[in-house]
Amino acid sequence: MVEYTSNLIHVECGRIKIEIEKHLADSLENCTALNLDGMVVIGGDGSNTFACKLAEHFAKEGCKTKVIGCPKTIDGDLQNDYISVPFGFDTATKVYSEEIGNLCSDAISSKDKYHIIRLMGRSASHVALECALRCHPNCVLIGEEVQQK
């Protein structure tokens, strides 16, 4: 999907990976044809890796398009000295924790029922643990530990 808003172009790519030289060449050709000054890539570990590859390729080829990587991930795999908490992780765990807390309140009134909550992500253990620290459920199963055993 491509949207044109004055001189801003918004493109949603989904999970397209830049893996071969042709992808880099196509990206360079499109950015040059659109006369783009800059490109912002919003995403996690993979997206920012590809943003870096694009930036290096564009610089090597003399392309004027500057590439900016903006970390957003619920996987929490981009934490470093400069990024303490990516906004996707923080938002997801706050929203999940609120919903888990609501379910915990509901569970108190139903003595013969169990409520099971599954959290998604590439490896969601840190999301589950953060939510558990916030809302104190009776039990937390960590997918990576279950898989190992």
Residues labelled as active-site residues:
75
Q: How many CB atoms lie within 10 A of CB 101?
A: 15
CA–CA distance from 117 to each of 72, 93, 120 (Å)? 23, 13, 10
Burial class (CB in 10 A: 0-12, 13-18, 19+), 108: exposed
Sort strands 2-5 and 8-11 into parallel, antiparallel or unpaired: antiparallel
